[in-house]
């Protein structure tokens, strides 16, 4: 898998022109959850770090607007499709192998694999009570799992600051081999890019609110809603003040991506 990964170095122009069409969908270089887990395990066996990002439409909007976010994405070693629109667009462009891999749904299988392989885990982000509660629950569900660090950054945390370096050093000093980043975009991806450069043997997985789901502080849409690909609508209706603008921005970019994906398919 590593050898087949898309090379992202230098992919993004300074004005973001590479993100104007379906080219952004080529960021998805790991098509399935099984492929991702297998490659993560291979990295652990070699003592090599990694950084996993989960692409969705909100990220695509941010990638167009934020040069720092583009740079961080270019440094990720693995990108999966976290969002049905990204999967559908990939299929429309001719990449039928791409499947939905939500970051929050990677926590349990990654914890199980870490327990089985004896890989210590760390959490960075959210709040200390959430991190501690998530650690207790995951260790109980996956015998042998060791969560060796729970690091909650201060308010107003800058992922490119000296404080960020100190927190990354704390995680590395704990003996962790993988760190789940629960900071939200773009902070978690920026920190992952910084972390894998600073500590090349450490893996980073960006999971957003995933640990809040583990402890029940936030609730995902019911399974039947997810099965009909309406989780975005369920989330917006439960928190319209925070999410309405985000989903409006996503809707604006979608038609152009559909057109570009069709052109890419026809050209291929």
Q: Is the pLDDT of residue 25 over 60?
A: yes
User: Is residue 11 situated within a structural domain?
Assistant: no
CB-hemisphere CA count at 13 Å for 156? 0
Report the domain count for the chain. Answer: 1
Whether residue 216 is preceded by a cis peptide bond, meaning omega within 30 degrees of 0, is no
| Averaged pLDDT for residues 21-44 | 89
Is the pLDDT higher at 249 or at 186? Answer: 186
User: Is residue 85 situated within a structural domain?
Assistant: yes
The pLDDT tens digits for 50-72 are 999 999 999 999 998 899 999 99
User: Is residue 219 situated within a structural domain?
Assistant: yes
Tokens coding 126: 């959210």
Residue 17's pLDDT is 47
pLDDT confidence bin for 89, thresholds 50/70/90: very high
- Give the ranges where the chain is alpha helix by DSSP (H): 33-46, 57-65, 67-74, 84-92, 107-117, 128-141, 162-173, 187-198, 210-215, 223-227, 231-238, 240-267
Question: For 81, left (φ over 0), alpha (ψ -120 to 50), or beta?
Answer: beta
Residue 148's pLDDT is 98
pLDDT > 90: percent of the chain: 66
Residue 210's pLDDT is 92
Average pLDDT in the chain: 87
Which residues span the domain enclosing 77? 17-263
Domain at 102, CATH number = 3.40.50.10700
Q: Is the pLDDT of residue 3 over 50?
A: no
Question: Among the listed ranges 2-11, 28-37, 209-218, which one has the minimum average pLDDT value?
Answer: 2-11
Question: For 156, left (φ over 0), alpha (ψ -120 to 50), or beta?
Answer: left
Q: Is the pLDDT of residue 2 over 60?
A: no
Return the DSSP state at 105.
Answer: G
User: Is residue 5 situated within a structural domain?
Assistant: no
The pLDDT tens digits for 133-181 are 999 999 999 999 999 999 999 988 999 999 999 999 999 999 999 999 9
User: Is residue 130 situated within a structural domain?
Assistant: yes
Q: Which residues of 134-153 are buried (b: 16+ CB within 10 A; e: fewer)?
A: bbeebbeebeebbbebbbbb
User: Is residue 183 situated within a structural domain?
Assistant: yes
Q: What is the DSSP string of 129-187?
A: HHHHHHHHHHHHHSTT--EEEEE-PPTT--TTSHHHHHHHHHHHHTT-SEEEEES-TTH
Q: Whole-model pTM above 0.85?
A: yes
The H or E element that residue 79 is part of is strand 78-81
Question: Among the listed ranges 7-16, 17-26, 56-65, 79-88, which one has the minimum average pLDDT value?
Answer: 7-16
Degrees, nearest 5: CA angle 177-181-185: 145
| Averaged pLDDT for residues 63-84 | 93
User: Is residue 10 situated within a structural domain?
Assistant: no
User: Is residue 154 situated within a structural domain?
Assistant: yes
The pLDDT tens digits for 102-133 are 999 999 999 999 999 999 999 999 999 999 99
Tokens coding 232: 């975005």
């Amino acid at each position: 898998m590593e050898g087949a990964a898309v090379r992202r170095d230098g992919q993004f122009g300074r004005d973001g022109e590479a993100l104007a069409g379906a080219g952004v969908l080529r960021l998805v270089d790991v098509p399935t959850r099984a492929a991702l887990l297998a490659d993560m395990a291979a990295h652990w066996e070699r003592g090599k770090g990694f950084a996993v990002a989960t692409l969705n439409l909100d990220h695509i909007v941010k990638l167009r607007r934020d040069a720092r976010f583009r740079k961080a994405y270019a440094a990720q070693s693995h990108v999966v499709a976290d969002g049905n629109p990204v999967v559908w667009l990939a299929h429309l462009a001719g990449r039928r192998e791409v499947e939905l891999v939500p970051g929050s749904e990677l926590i349990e299988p990654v914890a199980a694999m870490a327990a089985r392989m004896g890989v210590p885990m760390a959490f960075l982000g959210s709040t200390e009570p959430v991190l501690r509660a998530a650690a207790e629950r995951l260790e109980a569900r996956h015998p042998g799992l060791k969560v060796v660090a729970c690091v909650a950054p201060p308010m107003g945390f800058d992922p490119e600051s000296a404080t960020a370096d100190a927190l990354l050093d704390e995680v590395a000093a704990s003996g962790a081999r993988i760190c789940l980043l629960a900071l939200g975009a773009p902070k978690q991806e920026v920190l992952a890019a910084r972390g894998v450069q600073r500590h090349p043997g450490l893996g980073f997985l960006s999971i957003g609110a995933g640990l809040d789901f583990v402890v029940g502080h936030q609730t995902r849409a019911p399974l039947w809603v997810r099965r009909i690909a309406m989780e975005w609508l369920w989330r917006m209706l439960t928190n319209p003040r925070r999410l309405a603008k985000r989903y409006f921005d996503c809707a604006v970019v979608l038609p152009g991506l559909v057109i570009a994906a069709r052109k890419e398919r026809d050209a291929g």
